[in-house]
Chains A and B, each alone.
Chain A
Amino acid sequence: MVVELLEANGLRVLSNPTGSNLTRGIISSVSQQARHTGKLPFDIAVFELDEAYARQFTNVLKPRYVLGLNASRDQLDRFGEVDKVAELIGDTMLSATDGIITNADDRRLSAAAATAQVPVFYFGVAKKLLEYFPRDDELVAIGKPSPVAQAANVPVSVELETFKDDHATYRIDDKKISVELRVTGQHNFQNAAAALALLHELVPNIAPATLAEQLATVRPAFGRGQIFTLKNGSELQLCLVKNPASFRQGLASYITSSTPTLIAINDRVADSRDTSWLWDVDFEWCGLGMHAPVFTTGTRAMDMELRLDYDDVTVEGAEPDLDEALKKFCEIPGSKVVFATYTAMLHLHNQLSRKAGKKL
């Protein structure tokens, strides 16, 4: 989103492919695009970094700006705990030389940014929308209603004010903009607020109305709500899920009681080897499986089936083999959704890119 917005403003942007966010991804993106003189023909570099790797990276190369989106329980088998994730992102933010952009509604990140020596710019969502964007602590809070978020006591430069279907309105400083987005999923409305806040600093003289037009053209990123048209004419939407927060957002954004759904759970290192987090996702409220079949696949297809059983969602089939499961799923008529953890998403994305509309 940030890269597309910068490009829309005429900047030549060097970036790493989405998800390839470790040393390898960065080095290959830089070396592939360098001229034989060693010069890089770009105006600006934007890197998406793994939270653990980001600190090492910024020890070597100080970024001008760091955008910290949120700290969520994610890959706890790597990081141990959420506080640790926040500490890693916090350290990375503090390495910025010009400014920090972070989430006013994330208590861990806004606390970390508060100690910064450089200017901090906040994005956020309007108070009345906070219930649609539960923070990590609220997602897993047991036995008490989600606390009404205490809006951080900071001036928010870009705020998501309303959203309905694909339409969102934002406040940028004191100006309002209204956008029809091509990206789907309510989390992307929040992401867009973050991207707008960063753009606002990087390209300060741009008119909010122009930004709105540019935002309207941004397409969904790799495997993040991407739509494929299948042989039988139906559409399949592929959505990455990586933690309770993103799974919940995916269910809220894409699932109705009549959406056929395939859930692909792998347990390789990039997925989270510990699948305990599936029990921190509540599947009961969204209508999943009520009038449409639900299938599970991946190395942890069985765990997902058992998880759904305890939320009274009946699973039509649990097939660990991703290709088999995808093939069967694609034969179902009507719009459907695939949720997949990272390595499962990569595999399914590859299959769909090559075969959607032909063999699938």
Chain B
Amino acid sequence: MSKPELHITHIYPNEMNTYGDRGNLLVLEKRALWHGLKPVIHYYNAGTQFPESDLVLGGGGQDSAQDDIQVDVLRIGDTLHKLAAAGTPMLMVCGTYQLFGNRFITSDGQEIKGIGIFDIETLGGSKRMIGNVSVETKDWGLLYGFENHSGQTTLGEAQLPLGTVTKGGGNNGRDKTEGARAFNVVGTYMHGPILPNNPQFADWMIAEALRKKGIEHKLAVLSEEDALAERVRLSASDRPY
């Protein structure tokens, strides 16, 4: 029997890749292989056709890169909304998280429209929140990462956060929320990157993608990798903000 395919799409790989974001892609690719699947990697660049996608990843970029892709992200907004509503797992980190919200207002008052998958709004700030973070989540327990952003994000009233910060600033440094979640789409400020340190979350993305495809496939137990990740998590819990 041939191995089930898992189509993983990394959006704007050349613009939105500032902080080790390709680590997330590497983890999904390698874990898919180790789970006995056949990962197929697609890179979506502005102006091209959106590829077949079971999983979608987006990273963080420079402010200047965000300007470059904002027109295009609106162009593919409908496609992304449909994928989201169909339950496609997506992980949007930092800059792409902001673009999945309603709008981003830069520190000089310029408005960048987002695609509104999350009911969030981000204000460019002058102070960056930088440090080790940990976030308590309902479905994946404690997540560890490193935040580095000047945008301050506020959630709309009905918008679910990804979780509650137990260390670090999170969305805005005030309300203890971090990230956002809608369907199986997760937005977050956590670099680190997030997936290597939190393999339970990576495996959830893979399992949901398979479930959505109607494929019954038991994920392998990756005890060696997960033991390594557990040691990283233990040492991460000691790091100061």
Mark A residues whose CB is within 8 Å of B: 73, 76-77, 80-83, 137, 140-144, 267, 273-280, 299-303, 305-307, 309-311, 318, 320
Instruction: Provide the bound-state CA to CA distance between A320 and B13, in Å.
Output: 33
B192 and A141 contact, CB distance less than 8 A: no
In the complex, which of the residues A82, A273, A302, A320 contacts B146, with contact meaning CB atoms closer than 8 Å? A273
Neighbouring A residues of B229 by C-beta, 8 Å: 306
Instruction: Specify which of B20, B62, B234 is in contact with A277 (CB 8 Å cutoff).
Output: B20
**Pairwise interchain contact B148-A77, C-beta atoms closer than 8 A:** yes
Q: Which residue in B26, B62, B64, B191 is a CB contact (below 8 Å) of A310?
A: B26
Indicate the size class of the contact surface on chain B: 35 or more
- Shortest CB distance B188–A (Å): 13
Q: What is the CB-to-nearest-CB distance from B25 to chain A, in angstroms, rounded to a whole number?
A: 7
Contact A81-B235, Cβ < 8 Å, known A274-B148, A276-B192, A305-B228: no
B116 in the interface, Cβ–Cβ < 8 Å? no
Q: Which of B13, B20, B64: most chain A Cβ within 10 A? A: B20
Q: Is the interface of B mostly helix, strand, loop or mixed?
A: mixed
Contacts of A300 in B (CB 8 A): 235
> Which residues in chain B, 1-50, are within 8 Å of chain A measured between CB atoms?
10, 13-14, 17-23, 25-27, 30, 41, 43, 45
Selected from A83, A137, A318, the residue in CB contact (under 8 A) with B64 is A83
Q: Which residues of A contact B14 (CB under 8 A)?
A: 137, 141-144
A142 to B8, CA, bound (A): 13
Interface pair B10/A143, CB less than 8 Å apart: yes
Residues of B within 8 A of A140 (CB): 17-18, 22
Known A141-B14, A273-B146, A307-B23; 11 more pairs at CB < 8 Å: A76-B18, A81-B18, A81-B63, A82-B18, A142-B14, A274-B146, A276-B193, A279-B26, A302-B234, A307-B196, A309-B224
**Alpha-carbon gap, A81 to B191, bound state (A):** 14
Do A80 and B148 touch (CB < 8 A)? Answer: yes
Within 8 A of A (CB), among B135-178: 146, 148, 150
Which residue of the partner chain A has the closest CB to B29?
A: A310
Beta-carbon contact of A81 and B62 below 8 Å: yes
Contact B19 A276 (CB under 8 A): yes
Chain B residues near A305 (CB-CB < 8 A)? 228, 231-232
Are B20 and A320 touching (Cβ within 8 A)? no
- Is B131 part of the contact surface with A, judged by Cβ < 8 Å? yes
Given contacts A77-B148, A80-B150, A142-B43, contact A280 B22 (CB under 8 A): yes
Q: Which of A276, A301, A302 contacts B23 (CB 8 A)?
A: A276
* Neighbouring A residues of B231 by C-beta, 8 Å: 302, 305-306, 318
| B13 A141 Cβ-Cβ under 8 A | yes
**Known contacts A143-B41, A306-B196: does B232 contact A276 (CB below 8 Å)?**
no
CB-based closest 5 A-B pairs = A279-B23, A276-B20, A143-B43, A142-B13, A279-B20
B91 to A: closest C-beta gap in Å: 14
Closest chain-A Cβ to B42's Cβ sits at a distance in Å of 8
